């Protein structure tokens, strides 16, 4: 699980290392250039076969300094390298200045204005503006990039494009590109979208909130202490190789050595009336597949026949009123309650939520259970605790936390979820291609279904109900950390969709989960 850093956290990490004497800015820049070249040649081995042509677009700051190092190292390998600088060379200062002078001592430097007329290279490097810039890139830089990236080189390997640390104009805190005012501008032109982003020391938060490049970011070490990122942030991206995933699963679940079904917990899923029970049934099947020892679906009495016709391993119980739910919850073996899927937006739903929360059980609230409190979210928040999970999509989130939603791009999705969790006192899972899970203490996990881990097939009716069921099933066993199992459920949900592939419907997800669990050694 990689730590994610904001721009401020990365700057603080570098500053602390340099002030302690652990390293210097010049050394960090050299390591960044070396790491970038190694990552590029590893990504595209054909570029290592003999010299080729490269163009490096440099800005006047430290990102440009990284670019000068990359240019020098490629030239030392026999490459033909053209370096284009934005702005006045005399204004380049500090460590970037030292590397500019090292370049110009042996090679020519060209102004950015000349880039648009140059021959497209085999490798185009964006070293214009790094993590310290929070505005759209200048028109000249945008035009230079697109002119050189527009077509393949006339000879040698096809043109590849790489950004150093982050693409110029990309928001490394909130994700997405900074765009100019829309009058007469094509927003797509300011989204550089290189083939690859090589980022330094630690992954940057925004790179896992929206896609910054066509491939997943490559992180390279630059000589900072390995634990520096861990002490700088409490945000992690939920990913890793197969061994890390197996270890993560066992750490969160404690393995699957339960000897009795009640040791695995008994989940209760509340469903809607006749004709509205599909969502609850999918959530219940998902809970059973995810590991609950028993699952009961409680529905109004007149909905029992249709549910009985479609459920086998799942038990049924009648529940017409909140008093009926209270009686069900007298069974001390019930360990978790899931409310929302297909339950209906109503005063009755609010009462059922209150009964579930008063019982002291873990509670997963989704869909209608959230929307039912849109007029009085504070009423819900007063009843919540750290063993509750809210699973809103962005629309539901806006109903419960309108002030956070109204801040739009001024607030990152990570900060929005973190502030929401602190306010309501529960775990918040904010859905999306980048799903963010936050607990009231401020710890955040990001599950990024981006880059090579995209799962567009999850854009299907009922997928959210299944996710609520996965969370419920993993929460059923006692002693597990609520945030940790919620993070795991988000990963299992996406991985089940990825394993199934195209043609997925929500009902396929619970049946695909055993394959994913088998791969984890469950």
Here the CATH number for the domain that contains residue 174 is 3.40.50.10260
Q: Is 456 in the same domain as 370?
A: yes
Ligand-binding site membership of 35 (annotated): no
Ligand-binding site membership of 46 (annotated): no
Q: Is 201 in the same domain as 280?
A: no
Q: Distance between the two ends of the chain, CA-based, in angstroms?
A: 19
pLDDT of residue 180: 86
Ligand-binding site membership of 431 (annotated): yes
Which of 208, 233, 258 lies at the terminal end of a domain, its last residue? 233
Strands 444-448 and 434-438 turn out to be: antiparallel
Q: Is 340 in the same domain as 283?
A: yes
Report the side by side order of strands in the sheet with 196-200.
110-111, 80-85, 53-58, 123-127, 160-164, 196-200, 218-220
* Separation CA 202–CA 2 (nearest Å): 8
Tokens 């250039």 belong to 33
pLDDT of residue 185: 64
Q: Is 229 in the same domain as 313?
A: no
Q: Is 319 in the same domain as 440?
A: yes
> What is the number of structural domains in the chain?
2
Which of 177, 207, 233 lies at the terminal end of a domain, its last residue? 233
- Residues contacting residue 227 through CB under 8 Å, at least 6 positions apart: none
Q: Are 206 and 174 in contact (CB under 8 A)?
A: yes
- For residue 35, what are the domain limits? 2-233
Q: Is 432 in the same domain as 502?
A: yes
SS3 state of residue 190: helix
Ligand-binding site membership of 62 (annotated): yes
Q: What is the DSSP string of 67-120?
A: HHHHHHHHHHTT-EEEEEESS-GGG--HHHHHHHHHHHTTS--EEGGGGGGSPP
Q: pLDDT tens per residue, the chain (522 residues)? A: 788 999 999 999 999 999 988 899 999 999 999 999 999 999 999 999 878 999 999 999 999 999 999 999 999 999 999 999 999 999 999 999 999 999 999 999 999 999 998 999 999 999 999 998 889 999 999 999 999 997 777 777 888 999 999 999 999 999 999 988 765 567 788 899 999 999 999 999 999 999 999 999 999 988 887 655 555 457 888 877 788 889 999 999 987 665 678 789 999 999 999 999 999 999 999 999 999 999 999 999 999 999 999 999 999 999 999 999 999 999 999 999 999 999 999 999 999 999 999 999 999 999 999 999 999 999 999 999 999 999 999 999 999 999 999 998 889 999 999 999 999 999 999 999 999 999 999 999 999 999 999 999 999 999 999 999 999 999 999 999 999 999 999 999 999 999 999 999 999 999 999 999 999 986
Check the CA dihedral 225-198-413-516 and report its sign. Answer: negative
pLDDT of residue 240: 73
Q: Are 214 and 450 in contact (CB under 8 A)?
A: no
Q: What is the DSSP string of 198-258?
A: EEESSEEGGGGTS--SSS--EEE--S--TTHHHHH-SEEE----HHHHHHHHHHHH--S--
* Separation CA 106–CA 76 (nearest Å): 11
SS3 state of residue 57: strand
CATH of the domain at 507: 3.40.1190.20
Ligand-binding site membership of 445 (annotated): no
Q: Is 378 in the same domain as 318?
A: yes
Q: Is 195 in the same domain as 119?
A: yes
Check the CA dihedral 225-231-232-234 and report its sign. Answer: positive
Which of 233, 257, 291 lies at the terminal end of a domain, its last residue? 233
pLDDT of residue 490: 97
Q: Are 272 and 342 in contact (CB under 8 A)?
A: yes
Ligand-binding site membership of 99 (annotated): no
Ligand-binding site membership of 342 (annotated): yes
- The two structure tokens encoding residue 409: 């791009």
* Separation CA 449–CA 361 (nearest Å): 31
Q: Is 222 in the same domain as 252?
A: no
Question: What stretches of 411-514 adopt beta strand conformation (E)?
Answer: 427-430, 434-438, 444-448
Ligand-binding site membership of 67 (annotated): no
Ligand-binding site membership of 344 (annotated): no
Q: Are 99 and 27 in contact (CB under 8 A)?
A: no
Ligand-binding site membership of 132 (annotated): yes
Q: Are 279 and 341 in contact (CB under 8 A)?
A: yes
pLDDT of residue 151: 75
Tokens 């419907």 belong to 505
Beta bridge partners of 318: 299
Q: What is the DSSP string of 328-386?
A: HTT-TTEEEEEE-TTT-SSHHHHHHHHHHHHTT-EEEE-THHHHTTTT-HHHHHTT--T
Ligand-binding site membership of 64 (annotated): yes
Ligand-binding site membership of 413 (annotated): no
Ligand-binding site membership of 136 (annotated): yes
Q: Is 226 in the same domain as 247?
A: no
Q: Is 188 in the same domain as 304?
A: no
Q: In whole angstroms, how far apart are CA 188 and each of 179, 191, 246, 418, 443? A: 9, 5, 40, 30, 34
Q: Is 191 in the same domain as 310?
A: no
- The two structure tokens encoding residue 369: 């259970």
Q: Is the pTM of this model over 0.85?
A: yes
Ligand-binding site membership of 117 (annotated): no
- The two structure tokens encoding residue 410: 């001024």
pLDDT of residue 353: 98
Ligand-binding site membership of 279 (annotated): yes
């Amino acid at each position: 699980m990689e730590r994610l850093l904001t721009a401020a956290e990365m700057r603080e990490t570098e500053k602390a290392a340099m002030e302690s004497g652990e390293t210097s800015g010049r050394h960090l820049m050299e390591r960044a250039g070396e790491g970038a070249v190694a990552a590029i040649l590893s990504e595209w081995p054909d570029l290592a076969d003999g010299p080729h042509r490269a163009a490096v677009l440099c800005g006047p700051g430290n990102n440009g300094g990284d670019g000068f190092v990359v240019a020098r190292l490629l030239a030392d390998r026999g490459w033909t390298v053209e370096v284009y600088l934005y702005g006045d060379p005399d204004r380049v200062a500090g460590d970037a200045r030292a590397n500019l002078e090292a370049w110009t001592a042996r090679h020519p430097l060209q102004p950015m204005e000349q880039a648009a007329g140059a021959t497209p290279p085999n490798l185009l490097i964006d070293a214009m503006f790094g993590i310290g810039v929070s505005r759209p890139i200048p028109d000249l830089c945008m035009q230079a990039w697109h002119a050189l990236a527009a077509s393949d080189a006339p000879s040698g390997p096809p043109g590849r494009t790489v950004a150093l640390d982050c693409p110029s104009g990309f928001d490394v805190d909130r994700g997405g590109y900074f765009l100019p005012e829309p009058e007469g501008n094509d927003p797509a032109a300011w989204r550089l979208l290189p083939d690859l982003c090589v980022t330094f020391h630690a992954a940057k938060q925004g790179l896992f909130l929206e896609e910054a490049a066509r491939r997943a970011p490559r992180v390279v070490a630059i000589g900072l202490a390995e634990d520096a990122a861990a002490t700088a942030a409490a945000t992690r991206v939920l990913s890793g190789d197969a061994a890390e995933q197996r270890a993560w699963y066992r750490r969160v679940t404690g393995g699957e050595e339960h000897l009795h079904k009640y040791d695995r917990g008994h989940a209760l899923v509340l469903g809607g009336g006749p004709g509205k029970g599909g969502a609850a049934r999918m959530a219940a099947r998902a809970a059973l597949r995810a590991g609950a020892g028993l699952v009961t679906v409680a529905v109004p009495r007149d909905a029992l026949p249709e549910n009985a016709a479609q459920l086998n391993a799942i038990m049924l119980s009648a529940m017409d009123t909140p008093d009926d739910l209270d009686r069900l919850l007298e069974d001390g073996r019930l360990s978790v309650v899931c409310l929302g899927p297909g339950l209906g937006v109503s005063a009755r739903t609010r009462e059922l939520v209150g009964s579930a929360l008063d019982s002291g059980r873990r509670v997963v609230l989704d869909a209608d259970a959230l929307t039912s409190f849109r007029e009085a979210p504070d009423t819900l928040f007063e009843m919540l605790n750290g063993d509750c999970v809210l699973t809103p999509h962005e629309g539901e989130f806006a109903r419960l936390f309108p002030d956070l939603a109204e801040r739009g791009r001024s607030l990152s999705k990570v900060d929005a979820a973190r502030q929401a969790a602190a306010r309501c006192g529960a775990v918040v899972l904010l859905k999306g291609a980048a799903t963010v899970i936050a607990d009231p203490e401020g710890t955040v996990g990001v599950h990024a279904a981006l880059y090579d881990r995209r799962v567009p097939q999850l854009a299907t009716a009922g997928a959210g109900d299944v996710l609520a069921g996965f969370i419920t099933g993993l929460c059923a066993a006692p002693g597990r950390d609520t945030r940790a199992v919620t993070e795991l459920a988000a990963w299992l949900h996406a991985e089940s969709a990825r394993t199934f592939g195209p043609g997925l419907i929500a009902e396929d997800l619970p049946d695909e989960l055993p394959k994913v669990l088998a791969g984890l050694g469950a």
